[in-house]
Amino acid sequence: MIEPISLAVGAGLFGAGLLTGKLTRRQTGAGTSPKPVCGCSHGLEQHDPDTKECHGQILHRDWIGNQWVPCTCRQYVGPKPFEELFVSPMLPPQDTA
């Protein structure tokens, strides 16, 4: 036999969890995917696909003032885009001589 008090407590906890999830959920724009970001806070588009170096700039603050300096990141270490996981790399054409 099922105890009605246990069912009520379980349903109350479940409802509280759903309500908490609804109230604390982050709102993202419809149809936008998360942008892959590296440890240097620059996106994948700032890194050269061949050399993997970053072309972004960082705001350097010191006692003289603020200045933009080149990013020292040498390789993209952020998450890979979904498309890159399932697409095979393009191979150069082979000579069939």
Over residues 51-66, the pLDDT tens digits come to 878 888 888 888 888 8
CA distance 36 to 42: 9
Tell whether the model's pLDDT for residue 34 goes beyond 70.
no
> In this model, does residue 92 exceed pLDDT 80?
no
Query: According to DSSP H, which parts of 3-53 are helical?
Result: 4-24
Q: What pLDDT, on the 0 to 100 scale, is given for residue 8?
A: 92
* Whether residue 30 has pLDDT greater than 60: no
pLDDT above 90 (res 15)? yes
Alpha carbon 55 to chain centroid distance? 19
Domain boundary assignment for the chain: 36-88
Helix, strand, coil fractions of the chain, as percent rounded to 5 = 30, 15, 55
At 83, the pLDDT band (50, 70, 90 cuts) reads low
Q: What is the mean pLDDT of residues 60-89?
A: 79
Q: How confident is the model at residue 38 (pLDDT cuts 50, 70, 90)?
A: confident
